[in-house]
Amino acid sequence: MSKVNVEELKRSSNGLRGNIVDEMTNGVPNVTDETYQLLKFHGMYQQDDRDLRRDLKQKGELPAYSFMLRSRIPGGVITREQYLAHDDIADRFGNGTLRLTTREAFQVHGVLKGDVKPVIQAINHALLSTISACGDVNRNVVVTPDPADNPVNRELQALAIRIANHLTPKSRAYHEIWLDEEPQSGELEEPIYGKTYLPRKFKIGITRTGDNSIDILTHDIGIVAITNGDTITDYQLYAGGGLGKTHNNEDTFPRLADPVGRVSPDLVLKAVEAMVMVQRDHGNRENRKLSRLKYVLHNKGVDWFRSQTEKTGGFLFRNAVTLPPWQFRSWFGWTPQGNGLFTLGLFVENGRIHDSGDFRLKTALKTIATTLSCSFRITATQDLQIRDVTPAQQKVVEVILADHGIRLPDTIAPLRLQSMACPALPTCGLAISEAERVFPDIITELEGIAKQVGLESLPVVTRMTGCPNGCARPYTAELAFVGRSGTKYEIHAGGSPGGDRLTTVIHPGLDQSLFKPFFTELFTRFADNRQAGESFGDWVVRQGEW
């Protein structure tokens, strides 16, 4: 489908309705390109099993179509009942696994077309939704997963919910199509988005000064709380972050957000709305590769963007201030919440909750959710927190995990703990290389090399994606693998441990078969030339040109 057609499709979709009802009930396993685009706004992607694609084509059969549905969960916070609902959905309608995402949400893969409506209704019954989890709108709002139960963190979570609700499309199409609401006469006006919504997807993150556990500078809008004790005095807003690029197209690039200015807490929602509307009116609608807000900031500058936002919103920013250095926190292990309860941060390798042999994470988490009055939180590193655990229940949780073959984070090497990959093959239609399926073995190989040169205890933020779109945020990692073609990867390095510096390319296309000699030499050089306390990313930058 052409890029211009996407804009026309949105304009003529009758509030995101299009032909969805007819196509979802026509008895064939897939939908047209037009409906594929509109379904994104309803929180899903049509996919097919690419492992089977060639054989099925040779047999003259259709691809093995299915749908991936994504729940919208502001801040990633869910009750145990909501967790169990997703666990049940994955078993009844999906492929038996749950996928945690970098936007603190659930994905359920492998849903057949005829089961999409029951899945959405089950998610809605759990008091959650899939609306605007995908599409050219604001997507799930992510929040620092800091476990502390204090007024600041409670307000940040509440702000995420307010923003998510405020920026949800007002069309009743979702409720009519999936939840059997009576159709309304006339087309409802979208007060923020208009008929063509945004030029492209839009991402918002919320944190507090110093806490970069969500890669705040990679968002279209970053909201940073400035505090005095337990009181938020200001929010400093950033704009223009984004990581997607296209290979061999220098007009596309990853970019970190710029500080725009400060607003008082009572103005933050107005400021966010105005920033979204500036992107609506000035984002590139002719070329979707250049349509993110980062290109508006790159082309017009932060001063122009600040002025335009002030005009649109009818308020004035105060000057941005220098904030404390960013620190990346994973919140692994047990952390006191400050209210007598505890949070256990679990490492979930590449975000996949599943059972395989003696490793039975899915069953363990279901047992915990069924047994204890706890809650959960999905983090922006595709990990999971078990929250609100009493001191007496801590041992119970540990025993359940151990009985199901699940290791606690303090028994896992730092290199693996800081690793993250996107799903890629076989379901993602954009993937050109493997990621999630091969990354655990690659990490094992890197761990062996690190141990060989005496670096086994050193944490290195390491990430892998199957294409250059950057879903697993490779361009802020200390070391990253970006799919180039087949088994070849563009190797990136030099991001900071705090997540506030972009990588540089240190190899344009390294085949996986050559990883061991390449990284043996690289890690040996690092071990031999590292300064005291120097991180891998900082060492890469100190080497200069690669």
Taking CA atoms, 400 is separated from 83, 158, 356, in Å, by 17, 32, 16
Give backbone dihedrals phi and psi of 258, rounded to 5 degrees, phi first.
-95, 145
What type of residue sits at position 470? G
Taken as a whole, the chain contains a residue count of 546
Q: What is the pLDDT, as a whole number, of residue 185?
A: 74
- DSSP code of 290? G
What residues act catalytically?
Answer: 70, 139, 201, 203, 422, 428, 467, 471
Three-state DSSP class for residue 284: coil
Number of H helices, E strands in the chain: 17, 22
Q: Can you give the pLDDT at residue 188?
A: 77
- CATH 3.30.70.2500 positions along the chain are 1-137
Cβ proximity of 156 and 226 under 8 Å: no
Task: Give per-residue pLDDT as tens, 447-467.
Answer: 999 999 999 999 999 999 999
State mean pLDDT over 99-109.
Answer: 98
Task: Tell me if 243 sits within 8 A of 503, measured CB to CB.
Answer: no
Given this model, what pLDDT does residue 259 score?
Answer: 98
Task: Give CA–CA dist 412/162, Å, rounded.
Answer: 37
Band of pLDDT at residue 3, cut at 50, 70 and 90? very low
CATH architecture, domain defined by 1-137: 2-Layer Sandwich (3.30)
Distances (CA, A) of 21 to 14, 29, 38, 433: 13, 14, 12, 34
Q: Which residues pair with residue 235 across a beta bridge?
A: 225, 263
Instruction: Provide the pLDDT confidence category of residue 272 given band limits of 50, 70 and 90.
Output: very high
Q: Which tokens go with 432? A: 């050109």
Q: How much is the average pLDDT of 137-144?
A: 98
Three-state DSSP state, 64: coil
Q: Does domain 138-168+198-329 have CATH number 3.30.413.10?
A: yes
Region(s) of the chain under CATH 3.90.480.10: 333-412
Q: From CA 12, how far away is CA 64, in angstroms rounded?
A: 30
The Cα 85–Cα 88 span in angstroms is 5
Q: Which CATH class is domain 415-542?
A: alpha beta
> pLDDT tens digits for 105-119?
999 999 999 999 999
Tokens representing 89 are 């959905």
Distance separating alpha carbons of residues 25 and 21, to the nearest angstrom: 7
Percentage of residues in the chain with pLDDT exceeding 90?
97
Q: Which of 32, 178, 50, 171 has the alpha carbon at shortest distance from 116? A: 178
Instruction: Decide if pLDDT at 4 tops 60.
Output: no
Region 478-493: mean pLDDT is 98
**What single-letter amino acid sits at 233?**
T
Confidence of residue 1 (pLDDT cuts 50, 70, 90): very low
Amino acid at 62: L
- pLDDT, one tens digit per residue, over 24-47 is 999 999 999 999 999 999 999 999
What are the tokens at 225? Answer: 């709380």
Residue 44: the pLDDT is: 98
Report how far residue 249's alpha carbon sits from residue 469's, in angstroms, rounded to the nearest whole number.
12
SS3 sequence of 404-452: CCCCCHHHCCHHHHCEEECCCCCCCCCCCECCCCCHHHHHHHHHHHHHH
Contact 464, 472 (CB under 8 A): yes
Q: Tell whether the model's pLDDT for residue 354 goes beyond 50.
A: yes
Q: Please name the CATH architecture into which domain 333-412 falls.
A: Alpha-Beta Complex (3.90)
pLDDT of residue 184: 81
What is the C-alpha to C-alpha distance for residues 243 and 246, in angstroms, rounded to an integer? 10
The mean pLDDT of 239-251, rounded to a whole number, is 97
- Mean pLDDT, the chain, whole residue set: 97
pLDDT at residue 2, rounded to an integer: 42
Degrees to nearest 5, angle at CA 120 with 39 and 185: 65
Query: Could you tell me where in the chain the CATH 3.30.413.10 domains are found?
Result: 138-168+198-329, 415-542
Q: Using 50, 70 and 90 to split pLDDT, how confident is the model at 545?
A: confident
Q: Would you state the pLDDT for residue 310?
A: 98
